[in-house]
Every structure is written in structure tokens, then in C-alpha cells.
Copies of this chain bind each other. A is one copy, B any other.
Amino acid sequence: MADRYGITGQSYVGENLKRGSDRIFHSFNSASASNTPWEFFEANTDLVDEACALAKEAFKSFQSTTFNARAAFLRAIADEMEGLGDDLLQVFCLESSLTMARARVERARTLHQLRSFAGWIETGNHCEAIIETSQGGMRPDIRKMMVPTGPIVVFGASNFPLAYSTAGGDTASAMAAGCPVIVKSHPMHAATGELVASSIIRAARATGMPNGVFSNLTASSYEVGEALVLHDAIAGVGFTGSLRGGRALYDLAARRPRPIPVFAEMGSTNPVVFFDGALKDEAIRSEWVVKMTESTSAGVGQFCTNPGLIIAVHSEALTAFVQALSERLNGVQAGDMLHPDIYHKFNQGATDFVYQPGVVELTSGVKTNGFAASSRILEVSGSDFQNNPNLHHEVFGPLSLVVRCADVEQLEAVVASLGGQLTGSLIGVENDFISHSRTIELLKSRVGRLIFNGVPTGVEVNAAMQHGGPYPATTDQRYTAVGVMSIKRWLRPIAFQNCPDDLLPEVLRNENPKGVMRLVNGEFSSRHIE
């Protein structure tokens, strides 16, 4: 039985809605401190088996669909999502307690992602075609391209109910690659998930995709996720969330009889290093007070690129900067967090930090107002930070720890003590960057994206973006989770040796009507082969 939004509370196993079990769970609205109006039926391992069998079968034909056909499917998903209109945005806001403005921005991002992948696969360049011809029979003719790996399981992120969830980057990239997808729906936004899932199912039907190309399993327990990761039909996993959750899935997948890759994006502390030149200039300093206030508090700090660390050498200018930042953040209204769990974990994490040796709080601290959190700035010395592993992990939410270093040497040691990060930012004037090349090198070796004079939040969706980084930011630093290059996670190379031209996949044939860029006998070329 569907309500006015069309929510049934059931799982999509391929195109069929199924309950799985009679166990029920709810999503929650933090703003009103009450359950949302929907009941969700907990999927079970029977539905896992069914969805996996369908995906395996669907892969047989889906992997060979033309790039244009898959692009049409992705565009149809975007159109269907757009067609849901304000319903989708309202459900999004109810389940996330995020603003309508944010809902609109995130929807736009999600549609843009789907359409970007469509555009990228239409070029054929995602195949990374490489051809070595026989040179008149002197050697075998070998032609290599990327092909899809198989059915993929996606675990969405709590903090991006659209852009990193049901039809988010992981799903869009896997489908663009030619891999069927099974989403383990995020229980905090199960209704948003079902609405988006219905769009994918309609789009699949409209564009003639096989049943099983997509499933959406509604579940709040670990059982369903674990069964999916362990299922023999599954070829890979995409995950966005906590270090604990990501590592658990990685460990599970690694001990399968046939191990599979887990691409887990597990957030980070995103250090922002302020150099003296920038801090000493009052105009620049004021500008950064505004920018850092926005970056710390936006989305109630619930971004994986939220700036959790501010690192600088002790100076009066630093004191002035930190004071101004704290004051400005005190003036920012507390925002409802996504879910009580996240709110409680944030408060607990902040409290744990406050009780660490040498940590002082500069903002006015915790305020009690339902599940709304205000931004917090703490401070600690470089020496207290460096040797205390309890201060090195992410506290998910609007919290930044200022690490005040005694001198440049300590600043370098602090940066060298950091684990892998999604981003690292460097704020300075030109001279700062020249005189701190060692700090820059140290930070560079620990991050996926090195930002000059910019905040870490705001992740552009394009081919040059790297959203990833050394462990524990991700389980596989060789890939990005954002931008069209994230399709690489779901592809593997295959070489064809002495294959008759008409049996080759289109992008490897002598004729190259689309002008695909190929590496031919060591030279890049978009031309035909004579």
C-alpha cells in the first residue's frame, strides 16, 4: 500500500516490490524529534539471494549493451528523478532535516552526475583502448579495453541522501560501466531511497534494460549488507560512511573464497594549514574567518570534507584569527543533525576531545536544543596533538581542532603524524608556499587532493576531481569516488589477441567512426587503423 508519495516501505528485487520480513523500522525527523510517517519492511537473506541471482542474469546482457543505450538509461533515471518534483525534495527534507535549498542543490548534483557519466561513456574513451598491431605479421595483433566486472553492491551515505546514495555516484558509475547494482538502502533515508529506486526501475523499463539491472534492499540491520558482500555473484562494493563500517566490509570481502574489492570512502579530518603570511595580513585573515565559518558549519558539518583540523605556528595573528573564528561560529544558529545517532556521536566525540590533555574549547560549547548542534572550535598544542592518537580521528559534525605549533619544525612533525586524508589545504601568500616546500611535500603525500587557498568542502564533479586518499580516508587510494573517473572502479582490462576485426568490440576495430582516443603502437590516435 503506497501513501501519497508512493512509498510502500518495501524492497525492489529487480522490478518487483517485496517485503522480505515483517520486521519494521522507521526513518526519523530530527527537527520534530519524531518518526517519519512511513513503515519499512526489513529485507532478508532470501531477498539478497533473489536480487543477486537477478543481477547475475542481468549482467549477461547488460554488459553488452551499447554505450548509447546505457547513456540513455542514465539520462532516463535523471529525468525520472526530476519528474518526481517537489515530492522528492520534501521526503528528502523530512528524513534528513536538511534545508530545502540543500535538497535542491543536491538533486542538481545527482542529476549532473548521471548525465556526466552518460556523456563520458558515449565518447567510448572510458574503455582506455590500446592497440598493438601485428606489424605485418611480425608479432600477434593485441587489442585491449576495459570491460565491466559484474554486479556491484552500493552502501549509500547518510549525509548525501541523493548524491551518494541510491542513484548517487557509486550507482551511476557502476551502471555506466555496465554493472548491475544492488543498493543496500540507507535506513535513515529509506523513503528517499525508495522514491529514487522507483525512478531507476521506471527508467530501466522505459529504456529496455534487463530486469535485475537494479535492486534496492530496504534494511536497517547488518545482516543484509553482510550477506550481499559475501554473495558469490557480487564483483565489487561501493561504500561511503564511517571508518568502522568501511573497514568491516573490507575485512569481510577480503576473506571471501574469491576476494572482491571494496571501495570505501571513510571520511577524514581534512587538515587546513595556515601560514604566517596569510594570518598576518588583516584583510586576508578576515576573509578566512568568513570562509572557515562557512566551511565548518555548512550542512551542520556533516561532510566528509569538513575541516576538522586547523594547523598553524603560534603567533598573535593566529590567536586573533582563532578568536574571531570562534566568535563568528558562536553566532551561527545550531542546525538539526541528520539523525539522533549522529547527534549523539558528535557530542560524544567532541566531549572525548575536550577531555584530552591540553585541549581547551574556544566556542561556547554544547547547547541543548533537540538534535541541533552548534559549531565547536577546540585548541591544543602541537606537542599534545602529535603524540595523542585519540585526537587524530574524525569527529563527524561541525568541529575543528586548532593545533597550535611552537615553530615550523613542530608544524612539520604534526603534518607528518597525520594519517591519510581526502584533502589537505594550504592557506598562504606566495612567499609562504615557497618557504614551506617541506610542509607542502609532507601534506601532499598524505592526501588525495591538495588545495591552495581554498576550503576542503565543495567537491567539484568533474574528471580532474580526486575524492579519495591514503588509508584511512579510503580502502583504495588508487581510485576516486567522485567524477567520471570513478567508473574505473568497476572495470577491468581484457586483451584480444589475433581476434578477427568483425568479432572485436566496436572500440577496438580498425574503423573508428566515433574517433575514440586510442593508444596505437605507442602513439595516441583517434583515427582509423589502415
By a beta-carbon cutoff of 8 Å, the part of chain A in contact with chain B is: 60, 64, 125, 130-132, 139-140, 142-144, 149, 250-251, 254-255, 258-259, 261, 419-420, 430, 433, 440-441, 444, 447-454, 458, 460, 462-466, 468, 470-472, 475-480, 485, 488, 491-500, 503, 517, 519, 522, 524, 526
Q: How far is the CA of A233 from the CA of B517 in the complex (A)?
A: 38
- The 22 listed contacts between A and B (C-beta, < 8 Å) are A130-B485, A132-B460, A132-B464, A142-B464, A142-B465, A144-B465, A149-B477, A250-B259, A258-B472, A433-B503, A448-B492, A449-B494, A449-B495, A449-B497, A452-B498, A453-B498, A454-B498, A464-B519, A466-B493, A478-B491, A478-B492, A479-B493
What B residues does A440 contact at CB under 8 A? 503
- Say which residue of B254, B451, B522 sits within 8 Å of A254 (CB atoms): B254
What B residues does A419 contact at CB under 8 A? 258
Minimum CB distance partner of A253 in chain B: B254
Nearest-neighbour CB distance to chain B for A375, whole angstroms, equals 24
- Say which residue of B139, B462, B463, B494 sits within 8 Å of A450 (CB atoms): B494
Minimum CB distance partner of A123 in chain B: B522
Oligomeric state, in number of copies? 2
- Say which residue of B125, B139, B478, B498 sits within 8 Å of A493 (CB atoms): B478
Q: Are A496 and B132 in contact (CB under 8 A)?
A: no
Q: How far is the CA of A476 from the CA of B468 in the complex (A)?
A: 19
What B residues does A254 contact at CB under 8 A? 250-251, 254-255, 259
Q: How far is the CA of A444 from the CA of B504 in the complex (A)?
A: 12
Nearest-neighbour CB distance to chain B for A146, whole angstroms, equals 9
Instruction: Decide yes or no: A495 and B255 within 8 Å by CB, A142-B462, A142-B464 being known contacts.
Output: no
Q: How far is the CA of A502 from the CA of B237 in the complex (A)?
A: 39
Q: How far is the CA of A444 from the CA of B468 in the complex (A)?
A: 31
Q: Are B132 and A450 in contact (CB under 8 A)?
A: no
What B residues does A250 contact at CB under 8 A? 254, 259
- Say which residue of B140, B420, B470 sits within 8 Å of A454 (CB atoms): B140
Q: Are A460 and B491 in contact (CB under 8 A)?
A: no
Nearest-neighbour CB distance to chain B for A287, whole angstroms, equals 15
Nearest-neighbour CB distance to chain B for A177, whole angstroms, equals 12
Q: How far is the CA of A462 from the CA of B130 in the complex (A)?
A: 10
Q: How far is the CA of A132 from the CA of B465 in the complex (A)?
A: 9
What B residues does A503 contact at CB under 8 A? 433, 440, 452
Given contacts A448-B493, A450-B495, 11 further A-B contacts (CB under 8 A): A64-B441, A142-B460, A142-B465, A144-B463, A258-B471, A449-B494, A449-B495, A450-B497, A450-B499, A517-B524, A524-B524
Minimum CB distance partner of A466 in chain B: B495
- Say which residue of B131, B464, B497, B500 sits within 8 Å of A433 (CB atoms): B500
Instruction: Decide yes or no: A500 and B462 within 8 Å by CB, A255-B251, A493-B478, A495-B448 being known contacts.
Output: no
Q: Are B251 and A495 in contact (CB under 8 A)?
A: no
Closest 4 CB pairs of A and B: A466-B495, A254-B254, A142-B464, A132-B464
What B residues does A451 contact at CB under 8 A? 497-498
Nearest-neighbour CB distance to chain B for A105, whole angstroms, equals 15
Nearest-neighbour CB distance to chain B for A142, whole angstroms, equals 4
Q: How far is the CA of A462 from the CA of B441 in the complex (A)?
A: 34
What B residues does A479 contact at CB under 8 A? 493
What B residues does A430 contact at CB under 8 A? 500
- Say which residue of B452, B472, B517 sits within 8 Å of A497 (CB atoms): B452
Q: How far is the CA of A491 from the CA of B478 in the complex (A)?
A: 7
Q: How far is the CA of A466 from the CA of B478 in the complex (A)?
A: 19
Q: Are B494 and A462 in contact (CB under 8 A)?
A: no
Q: Are B471 and A259 in contact (CB under 8 A)?
A: yes
Q: How far is the CA of A491 from the CA of B466 in the complex (A)?
A: 14
Q: Are B258 and A448 in contact (CB under 8 A)?
A: no
Q: How far is the CA of A449 from the CA of B499 in the complex (A)?
A: 11
Minimum CB distance partner of A462 in chain B: B132
Q: How far is the CA of A401 from the CA of B226 in the complex (A)?
A: 38
Nearest-neighbour CB distance to chain B for A247, whole angstroms, equals 9
Q: Are B471 and A140 in contact (CB under 8 A)?
A: no
Q: How far is the CA of A499 from the CA of B470 in the complex (A)?
A: 21
Q: Are B132 and A463 in contact (CB under 8 A)?
A: yes
Minimum CB distance partner of A63 in chain B: B445
Q: How far is the CA of A142 from the CA of B519 in the complex (A)?
A: 25
Q: How far is the CA of A449 from the CA of B142 in the complex (A)?
A: 9
What B residues does A449 contact at CB under 8 A? 142, 494-497
Q: How far is the CA of A482 from the CA of B131 in the complex (A)?
A: 15
Minimum CB distance partner of A247 in chain B: B259
- Say which residue of B259, B441, B477 sits within 8 Å of A492 (CB atoms): B477
Q: How far is the CA of A501 from the CA of B254 in the complex (A)?
A: 42
What B residues does A500 contact at CB under 8 A? 430, 433, 452
